[in-house]
A and B are shown apart, each in its own frame.
Chain A
Amino acid sequence: MTEPAELIGTGTRLADGQWHRLHPATPLLKGGIALIAIIGVVIVNLRDVLINIVLGGGPGEEYDPFVWIIEHEYAGLILLAILVGLLLFVGGFYVSWRMHTFRITDEVVEVRSGILFRTNRRGRLDRIQGINIVRPFLARLVGAARLEINVAGQDANVQLAYLGSAAADELRREILLLASGTRAEPSESTPAGGIIDQLLAPELPQDAAAPESVVQMHLGRLVGSLLLSGFTVVVIVAIIALAVVTATTREYFYLLGFVPGVIAMGSYYVSKFTRSLRYSIASTPDGIRVGFGLLSTSNETLPPGRIHAVQVTQSLLWRPAGWWEIKINRASHSSAKGAAGQANTTILPVGNLADVTKVLELVLPGIDVDLVVRGLQGGGGDDGFTNSPRRARVIRWFSVKRNGFAVISGAVLLRRGAIWRDLTVVPSARMQSVALQQGPLLRRLRLASLRLHTVAGPISPAIGALDRDDAIGAFGSIADAAIASAGADTSHRWRA
């Protein structure tokens, strides 16, 4: 062993600065599925041989490694080899588990792993962008969970797979407490129930968040949003095309080709549906908690001030129902997928206006909700936004009245689009820089465009076709606001 045994902490608290090991079932969960698959293949193959022996028939005509082994009387040797292989396999996993240790001090989280090639990864607690707890179905059965600490950057996550389910929750609470800048003693944790209780427990624990701050996904809305997606449009177009082809050529052969398509389509809808089930967003003292999943569950806590841009969009199909989707830009890249298999930058897959305002209040505390609602639904005019002048209709045919921006304390709002509506909110404390641009066409029209730079993500906040003087004024005020709020921002130590 590389470290003396007494350094391995034995207490139940994981965040005590001592080295700890992962959940004992880790090797099984990490390599388990492959092992089970191999055993399954072996058993399926053996079954034929056994049936043949029992029924008294000769060995099967087909080539089969088992038949071959029995015929050549190598069975003992092979069994020995398999046994040695299995022992090595299990031993390797055991050693790898022994060597995989982690500790959480007041400043850093540190993981050591590897047998031949040792890895040591250290992440600073005050740089944490989010903590994700994922429970695959198999892990839930044994009461384990995977904890992923996201820090800014590509491939910069610290993963602890696997931990005890209750220990993972407790550890996240303590890490966030340490990261928040407080030095208060952590309170007693609630005792965890048995495996069955954990399996049947609601996705969001009762005491985790104030009920009025919770946004749940409505089941009907989830189904509706799936049916009214762009994918459905493609499917309908494909069906019409197929019907036309079949009707004109009278070749029913083409219908057969559609069968795999139907299966793929069905599985796409089902997987999106089950992944988004039990979706909830809630506000906790340590940030926003986004959780989802029926069989495999996942929930992530984003500490305050980790959201770099928010975009609310609505496609034409969703307009009659009044549904919106919310995406965010964040500095970290989690390896776990979000709900519905989307990147976990989509924090609200679908919601009505009430949900949207609630979520925006969670992610951007203190935002002017009335202005946001006007930004989403308003048709333009004198509604708090500085909109494009009429001469911009040459390049913004439909949206000239809605195309505008608003600079409020703490954030910049950009509103675009009349058919595909969207509203982007950038907190000025997170803005990296601001650019003002003008090409020859815009110059002829005395217009300019504005672009706000944030960390990379699905949103690139920009607005075009603004009046030149408005844009220059906004450029100055946004730059000033960015400096002022970056200086005043203390959200990286949110409890200090």
Chain B
Amino acid sequence: MSSKLDLPGTEWRGVSPRYIVVDLVGNLVFGIIVVVATSIPAFITGNVYLWTIPASFAIIVLIVLALTPRRVRAMGYQLRDDDLVFRKGLMFQRVVAVPYGRMQLVDINRGPLDRAVGLSELKFVTAAAASGVVIPGLPEADAEELRDRLVELAESRRAGL
């Protein structure tokens, strides 16, 4: 029996595979900056042992990059009758359920990388900051359709604070 978190009877809709590219590039850029920054002391002092710091960071970045396709495939959401369920995470799994009536606003964000491959990020905001439902890697048209759908659902199920 699996010890992972699997919700019974849930058909997950995944995010676009193109998001793998966005996530890879983003992580790669961040990783290069970190590795370069941490190797400055080793360059200056010439101490061989100091190279272990950028080396360990490089290994972590490589693992993160290697797992990116699986991590992106692990993301998913489902529009149930009365709530939105979103899951993410490979190592640290997280599943959130937000009733539509709790919606305060919906954001659509597009970063430069997202725009290059035609993706959007949708953010569902409730009165609780901790809800944190951010669905990345949605094709632009899908994101706008999903936003309109969510607003419509929230309108019909409006609840107080």
Determine the distance from Cα of A439 to Cα of B157 in the docked complex, in whole angstroms. Answer: 33
The answer to whether A14 has its CB under 8 Å from any CB of chain B is no
The stretch from A85-93, A284-292, A362-370, A449-457 touching chain B is: A449-457
Residue of B nearest to A486 (CB): B159
Is the C-beta of A372 less than 8 angstroms from some C-beta in chain B? no
The verdict on A448 contacting chain B, using a C-beta distance below 8 Å, is yes
Residues of A306-348 whose CB lies within 8 A of B? 308, 331
User: Which of chain A's residues have a CB closer than 8 A to the CB of B127?
Assistant: 152, 331, 432, 455
Residue of A nearest to B6 (CB): A472
Contact residues of B between 57 and 110, Cβ < 8 Å to A: 82-83, 85, 91-99, 101-102
Specify the chain A residue showing the minimal Cβ separation from B157: A487
Residue of A nearest to B96 (CB): A435
Residues of A close to B6: CB separation below 8 A: 472
Q: What is the minimal beta-carbon distance from B87 to any residue of chain A, in angstroms?
A: 9
Q: How far is the CB of A216 from chain B (nearest CB, A)?
A: 31
Nearest Cβ on chain A to B14's Cβ, whole angstroms:
19
B5 close to A468 (CB less than 8 A): yes
User: In the complex, which range does the number of interface residues on chain B fall in?
Assistant: 20 to 34
A122 CB-CB contact with B under 8 Å: no
B56 contacts partner chain A, Cβ-Cβ < 8 Å: no
The answer to the question of A438 belonging to the interface, with a C-beta cut-off of 8 Å to chain B, is yes
Query: Which listed residue, B102, B129, B133, touches A486 by the CB 8 Å rule?
Result: B102
Pair A475/B131 contact, Cβ less than 8 Å: no
| Contact in complex: B131, A433 (CB < 8 Å) | yes
Q: Is A396 an interface residue (CB 8 A)?
A: no
In the complex, residue of chain A having the shortest beta-carbon distance to the beta carbon of B9: A476
CB distance from B12 to the nearest CB of A (A): 14
Q: Smallest CB–CB gap between B3 and chain A, Å? A: 4
Q: Give 8 pairs: A residue, B residue, CB < 8 Å, sorted on A.
A: A152-B161, A308-B161, A430-B161, A433-B131, A435-B95, A455-B128, A482-B99, A486-B102
A433–B133 touching, CB < 8 Å: yes
User: Residue of A at shortest CB range from B94?
Assistant: A437
Most chain A CB atoms below 10 A, which of B7, B8, B95: B95
Q: In angstroms, how far is the closest chain A Cβ from the Cβ of B125?
A: 10
Please determine whether B4 and A443 come into contact, CB atoms closer than 8 angstroms. yes
- Chain A contacts of B157 at CB under 8 A? 486-487
Within 8 A of B (CB), among A417-437: 429-430, 432-437
Nearest first, the 10 closest Cβ-Cβ pairs linking A and B are A432-B128, A453-B128, A433-B98, A479-B97, A486-B159, A446-B3, A483-B82, A432-B126, A433-B131, A436-B95
Q: How many residue pairs between the two chains, A and B, have CB atoms under 8 Å in the bound complex? A: 104
Which of B97, B99, B130, B133 sits near A475, CB closer than 8 Å? B97
CA distance A492 to B98 in the complex (A): 21
Most chain B C-beta atoms within 10 Å of own C-beta, residue among A305, A432, A448? A432
Asked whether A169 is an interface residue with its Cβ less than 8 Å from the other chain, the reply is: no
Set A435, A438, A483, A489: member contacting B160, Cβ < 8 A: A489
- Measured CB to CB, the closest approach of chain B to A492, in angstroms, equals 5
Q: How far, in whole Å, are A305 and B83 apart by their CA atoms in the complex?
A: 22
- Kindly state the separation between the CA atoms of A258 and B21 in the bound complex, as whole angstroms: 64
A96 at the interface (CB under 8 A from B): no
CA distance in complex: A483, B101 (Å): 8
Q: Are A472 and B5 in contact (CB under 8 A)?
A: yes
Chain B residues with a Cβ under 8 A of chain A = 3-8, 82-83, 85, 91-99, 101-102, 126-131, 133, 157, 159-161
User: Which of B83, B94, B161 touches A479 (beta carbons < 8 Å)?
Assistant: B83
Chain A residues, CB < 8 A from B93? 436-439, 443
Question: A479 contacts which chain B residues (CB < 8 A)?
Answer: 83, 85, 97, 99
**Contacting residues, chain A, for B131 (C-beta < 8 A):** 432-433, 435, 453
- Specify the chain B residue showing the minimal Cβ separation from A151: B161
Docked Cα-Cα span, A432 to B157, in Å, equals 14
Specify which chain B residues have a CB less than 8 angstroms from the CB of A433 in the assembled complex: 96-99, 102, 126, 128, 131, 133
CB neighbours (8 Å) of B95 from chain A are 435-437, 475
Asked whether any CB of chain B lies closer than 8 Å to the CB of A444, the reply is yes
Taking a contact as CB atoms under 8 Å apart, the answer to whether A439 and B92 are in contact is yes
Q: Which residue of A lies closest to B101 (CB)?
A: A486
Q: Which of B3, B8, B97 contacts A434 (CB 8 A)?
A: B97
In this assembly, does A191 line the interface, its C-beta being within 8 Å of a C-beta of chain B?
A: no
CB distance from A4 to the nearest CB of B (A): 38
Residue A440 is within 8 A (CB to CB) of chain B in the complex: yes
Smallest CB separation, B111 vs chain A (Å): 25
By a CB distance below 8 angstroms, the chain B residues around A127 are 161
The minimal Cβ–Cβ distance linking A445 to chain B, given in whole angstroms, is 8
- For residue A460, CB closer than 8 A to chain B, the reply is yes
Alpha-carbon distance A446/B5, docked complex (angstroms)? 9
Residues of A within 8 A of B130 (CB): 435, 451, 453, 460
Instruction: Given A453-B128, A453-B130, A460-B130, check contact A432 B98 (CB 8 Å).
Output: yes
Q: Are B83 and A439 in contact (CB under 8 A)?
A: no
Bound Cα distance A393, B127 (Å): 35
Q: Would you call B3 and A443 a contact (CB within 8 A)? A: yes
**C-alpha spacing A486/B159, complex, angstroms:** 6
B140: min CB distance to chain A, Å: 26
Q: A433-B128, A482-B83, A486-B102 are in contact. List 18 more A-B contacts (CB 8 A).
A: A331-B161, A429-B159, A433-B102, A436-B5, A436-B95, A437-B93, A437-B94, A440-B91, A440-B92, A443-B3, A448-B5, A455-B128, A472-B7, A475-B97, A479-B85, A483-B101, A486-B101, A489-B159
Q: Which residues of the partner chain A approach B159 to less than 8 Å between Cβ atoms? A: 429, 486-487, 489
Complex alpha-carbon distance, A438 and B74, angstroms:
14
Contact of B96 among A434, A438, A486, A492 (CB under 8 A): A434
Contact of B126 among A453, A489, A492 (CB under 8 A): A453
Residues of A within 8 A of B101 (CB): 483, 486-487
